[in-house]
A and B are shown apart, each in its own frame.
Chain A
Amino acid sequence: MYAQMVKSTGETVVAKEKLSPKEREFQDRIDRGEKIEPKDWMPEEYRKNLIRQIGQHAHSEIVGQLPEGNWITRAPTLERKANLLAKVQDEAGHGLYLYCAAETLGVSRDELFDMLHKGKMKYSSIFNYPTLTWADMGAIGWLVDGAAIMNQVPLQRTSYGPYARAMVRICKEESFHQRQGFQIMLTMAQGTEDQKRMAQDALNRFWYPSLMMFGPSDKDSVHSAQSMAWKIKMNSNDELRQKFVDEIAPQAAFLGLNIPDDDLVWNEKTGHHDYSEPDWDEFFQVISGNGPCNKERLDARKKAWNDGAWVRDGMLAHARKKAMRKVAE
């Protein structure tokens, strides 16, 4: 979901008999539940897939600061401003944990940024939608962070050690985000008619984009099998999407808000909610760069990177000068 369409090379799992002895030993370790650590031998494709996945996840955290950063200066109260600021700061931290995990695989931070800025690496489609009102801060915390948690909790058991450890830290911090968002929705849903209307409008706009966060439907998701064998993907897209709908539907009812899907009903037989699929054409457009805010988001990232270059260079030069002086003494 934060890694929605990770291009993977292994479309199908190679039968164990066809693996080389080294590859078989590697797969056996994963099957036994052992963690793979940076210096351990790993198949090149495992390494490449992980860089793509962790990188996309990290980029999502970083770009994800932008839609919310939009509201920090306009938060309705000082307390809410402090809450939102803390949340956005967490997202920055989550991006950093993940970049570090990716770097243990032999890619540099600058290479990762470069690939993001050149559009060679993706980030979650959800952050390409605009945040029009304060209620959107509520909807994002409740739905977007809710969807993120659903995906990240199982990833704490992923096979790559540094990724799993980053996920543990992230999950610990993430539940504050969802509660913060839900509380905003609750306050607005119980507020004036105008506030309630804004809360409903935010849910209307963010519902389907949130469902898209889990990635394409399983029948169209050709890249999952190998990733699941390697335990870098723990659940199928549809499995997690269903879990999300089942969790959110009663919460929406509690808020007195309507999920914008007339076909969303509890199905006694399956023990799950039936629901409508999002517009997948829209998803493919947004993920490939044509969403409402793609250009704005990338431009903001590039501007921050380029405008900060003199600071990065200056700090390094200053540290070197100080170190030289120390040697001279």
Chain B
Amino acid sequence: MTVSEEWPLWEIFIRGQHGMSHRHVGSLHAVDAEHAIKNARDVYTRRNEGVSIWVVEASNISASSPSNKGPLFDPSRDKVYRHPTFYDLPDEAGNM
């Protein structure tokens, strides 16, 4: 068994169609960005899934921690007035 150093991990984002945003589709190993794009093309766009590819080395991504879920996201729960459906308008006012 030959032991060599592992290629770095890259996260792959694909734009499915023009006008859509890039979406995370998965990850893969590659030596550099150019190689990651080539591999992403083979692994994630075999059936016309994309018109554009972004690659980011996984170690460069910072993520929020699951234990912070409460402090981060709970405050917006009781602010229903941020949604249009909070406001009752008379029918006479027409479409708004």
Contacts and interface: CB of A to CB of B under 8 A. Distances in A.
B61 to A, nearest CB: 12
A166 B65 CA distance: 23
Contacts of A100: 26-28
A114 B6 CA distance: 12
B27 A323 contact: no
Central interface residue in B3, B4, B63, by most chain A CB within 10 Å: B4
A322 B6 contact: no
Contacts of A316: 4-5, 7, 31
Interface in A290-329: 302, 305-306, 309, 312-313, 315-316, 318-319, 322-323
A315 B66 contact: no
B47 to A, nearest CB: 7
Contacts of B1: 114, 117-118, 302, 305-306
Interface string A17-60: 00000000000000000000101110000000000000000000
Contact of A93 (B6, B7, B32, B46): B46
Interface string A93-129: 1001100100100001110001001100000000000
A150 B57 CA distance: 35
Contacts of A323: 32
A279 interface: no
A41 B31 CA distance: 31
B51 interface: no
Interface in B1-24: 1-7, 9
Nearest to A323: B32
B4 A318 contact: no
Interface in A149-195: 165-166, 169, 173
B43 interface: yes
Contacts of A315: 7, 31, 35
Majority DSSP secondary structure for residues of A touching B? helix
Contacts of B29: 109
Nearest to A93: B43
B4 A313 contact: yes
Contacts of A165: 26
A165 B23 CA distance: 13
A238 interface: no
B7 A96 contact: no
A201 interface: no
Given A108-B6, A109-B6, A166-B26, A173 B31 contact: no
A26 to B, nearest CB: 12
Given A90-B46, A315-B31, A110 B3 contact: yes
Contacts of A40: 66
Given A93-B43, A313-B4, 14 more contacts: A37-B66, A86-B46, A96-B28, A100-B26, A100-B28, A108-B6, A109-B29, A110-B6, A118-B1, A169-B26, A173-B46, A173-B47, A306-B1, A309-B2
